[in-house]
Amino acid sequence: MINLTADTLSAIGGAPTVPAPDDVGWCLYGVIRCSGVTDPLGQFDHADPDAEARLRHVLNGEPVRLIHKGSLAAVVGQVRLSDFTAEVLQARLSDPIALETLVQRHNGVIAGVHQVRTILPARLGGVYTSLDEVTAAIRERHDVLLAQIDRLDGCDEWAVHIYVDPQAVQARVRADQAASLLQQELTVARPGRAYLLRRKLEDDLTARRDQRVDELVRAAYERFSCLASAVQAERPARPSGATSGEIEELRLALLVHRERLDALVADLN
């Protein structure tokens, strides 16, 4: 998933430096808006039993908890601090299966909460040694976090990958090139002159193809940007290919209000 709020939450996440004696810590999954102050260790209160069951499942049966502070509540789950030391986390980074499990668990909680409440997601690995530390972190950035939640309210995050078929683009450019003056000149040129013209035509073909790809990518960016409340774009440094021979040319992270979802899906189709 692409994290649109990483800068805002960077001060909240962080691994503990001093393990608690009982090895109990709290993993921060995100922050939600709440109304009123209830039991600071209250269970996640929503009306969808299936959603609660899904959340309990990804947390190995541990209930998601809400830690209230002001108009916000931190969504946390109980973890063992020894599972989040620098050494253990480094080992997980070198183990693709363990890392995938950790990421899926974290994103699963965020996705489950998002089904019933707007959530400002926290980065992976934000673990605290006590609930007081969680409360202090929320209090420190309360107004900034609340403003971010207001911006996300009613929106979903979409990842869109734009692929281009370079052979199809080149064929189109070559067809246009066939009517060019260089092509006409090539048909009557002497052998030496024809060689130079063919080299020039190939260079022209490559330049026109790259220009056309850039135009297609720019058009896609502008089309999807019009539908999004916020957008982040990235041109892959090393474009990856698809089985159909297409090349990935653009990655978009879109924050889309649900009222515009139908228009987005229509454009994707």
**Would you give the distance in Å from CA 13 to the centre of its chain?**
18
What φ, ψ does residue 144 adopt, rounded to 5°? -65, -45
E strand intervals along the chain: 24-33, 65-69, 72-80, 119-121, 127-128, 155-164, 230-234, 247-257
In one letter, which amino acid is 264? Answer: L
In the prediction, which pLDDT does 266 show?
A: 84
Give the pLDDT confidence of 217-260 residue by residue, as tens digits: 999 999 999 889 889 999 887 766 555 678 889 999 999 998 88
Our separate counts of H helices and E strands in the chain read 10, 8
Whether 120 and 147 have beta carbons less than 8 Å apart is answered as no
**What is the average pLDDT across 38-59?**
55
Q: How far apart, in whole angstroms, are the C-alpha atoms of residue 154 and residue 245?
A: 37
Give the pLDDT confidence of 12-38 residue by residue, as tens digits: 444 444 444 578 889 999 999 875 544
Confidence of residue 190 (pLDDT cuts 50, 70, 90): low
Confidence of residue 182 (pLDDT cuts 50, 70, 90): low
